[in-house]
């Protein structure tokens, strides 16, 4: 075999391996969880408005973010409620994510996509389909964080018969995440 033939054989083998790996159902990417959060600072009225908004949007009871440190510049004491968030999983996360992507015109920047996650903000909640302006709430923005995973990650987290998950399986590269959201949600990444 000459050097050129060896290179061709290696290239052919690597493309075959990539194709076989992508056909493997265990390599399929899925949404682990979707977290929608609104930061409110120490303002209690704004905090209640944010809770009302998240509950009306998702149908779930939001949890409170509590400060761990004292920040006198922002008039925040330790243990003060400074935000609220909701975590969605499964089909409800997928449906809500479609609406949230539509709020940003199905466009993200490359900085908003990282390994195993997508993070972006929505400036005003009225941009989301199906949510109308409520004068009692006012105008609020929110952060959206999406965690992605592959099947089999529970192997490392479970209590009984715990095993090791390879780093290659655990890590979902930025390019794989971009392909996933392009194919499943029709989102363009610039």
The ranges assigned to domains in the chain are 27-189
> Residues in the chain with pLDDT < 50?
none
CB 42 within 8 A of CB 82: yes
Pairing mode, strands 107-108 and 188-189 = parallel
Here the tokens at position 87 are 């975590």
**Separation of alpha carbons 100 and 94, rounded Å:** 10
Pairing mode, strands 81-88 and 107-108 = unpaired
**Separation of alpha carbons 153 and 162, rounded Å:** 11
Tell me what pLDDT residue 75 has. 83
Domain 27-189 has CATH 3.50.50.60: no
* pLDDT per residue as tens digits for the range 10-47: 666 555 555 556 688 888 999 999 999 999 988 899 99
CB 122 within 8 A of CB 7: no
CB 38 within 8 A of CB 83: yes
Tell me what pLDDT residue 9 has. 66
**Separation of alpha carbons 124 and 1, rounded Å:** 64
Residue with the two structure tokens 């952060």: 143
**Separation of alpha carbons 99 and 121, rounded Å:** 13
* Angle, alpha carbons 114-182-167 (nearest 5°): 40
Tell me what pLDDT residue 5 has. 72
Residue with the two structure tokens 């004491």: 77
Here the tokens at position 118 are 């997508």
Sequence-ordered strand ranges (E) for the chain: 29-39, 63-66, 81-88, 107-108, 113-114, 117-122, 142-150, 188-189
Tell me what pLDDT residue 117 has. 97
Tell me what pLDDT residue 74 has. 83
CB 187 within 8 A of CB 108: yes
């Amino acid at each position: 075999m000459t050097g050129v033939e060896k290179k061709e054989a290696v290239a052919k083998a690597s493309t075959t391996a990539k194709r076989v790996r992508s056909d493997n159902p265990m390599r399929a990417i899925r949404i682990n969880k979707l977290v929608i959060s609104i930061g409110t600072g120490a303002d209690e009225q704004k905090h209640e408005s944010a809770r009302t908004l998240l509950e009306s949007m998702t149908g779930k009871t939001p949890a409170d973010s509590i400060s761990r440190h004292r920040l006198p510049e922002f008039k925040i004491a330790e243990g003060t409620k400074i935000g609220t968030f909701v975590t969605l999983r499964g089909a409800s996360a997928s449906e809500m994510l479609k609406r949230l992507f539509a709020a940003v015109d199905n466009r993200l920047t490359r900085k908003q996509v990282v390994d195993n996650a997508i993070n972006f903000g929505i400036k005003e909640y009225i941009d989301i389909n199906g949510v109308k302006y409520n004068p009692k709430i006012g105008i609020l923005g929110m952060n959206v964080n999406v965690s992605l995973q592959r099947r089999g990650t529970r192997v490392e987290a479970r209590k009984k018969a715990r095993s090791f998950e390879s780093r290659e399986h655990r890590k979902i590269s930025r390019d794989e995440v971009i392909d996933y959201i392009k194919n499943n949600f029709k989102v363009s990444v610039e």
